[in-house]
Amino acid sequence: MNMKTTRMQVFATVTAIAAMFLLALSAQAQDASATYKAKCAACHGADGTGSAMGTKMGAHDFTTAAVQGMSDAELTETITNGKNKMPKYGTSLKPEDIKGLVAYIRTLKK
């Protein structure tokens, strides 16, 4: 095998790995988006700013500095155990789903 062939094989391998990684990230993002829509959007709104019902119930606007300034651990705790009128999701969601929701909430900042 010559050097050019080896480089092409390495390039093809790296490209394939990168593509699989991006597809996996995309799938995780889609899962988090679907979970958000199913579990959170009714109160927090599709864009994170809060629905009419959620605002009346005191649901937080995810786009604010206050929420975005919370640590991942704080957001995970709230999603897992609930808070005020928010139900706890620790029994119905897997830890990786909750982690995905935290990451999704981070995308909603202003």
Does the pTM of the predicted model rise above 0.75? no
Q: Give the pLDDT band of residue 2 (cuts 50, 70, 90).
A: confident
Do 48 and 58 meet the contact criterion of CB atoms below 8 Å apart?
Answer: no
* DSSP bridge partners of 83: 86
Which letter, b or e, does each residue of 29-64 get, where b requires 16 or more Cβ atoms within 10 Å of its Cβ?
Answer: eeebbebbeebbbebbbeebbbbeebeeeebbbbbe
Do 100 and 31 meet the contact criterion of CB atoms below 8 Å apart?
Answer: yes
Q: Does domain 3-106 have CATH number 3.40.30.10?
A: no
Q: What is the pLDDT of residues 17-72, one digit of tens each?
A: 666 655 554 445 568 899 999 999 999 999 999 999 999 999 999 999 999 999 99
pLDDT above 80 (res 77): yes
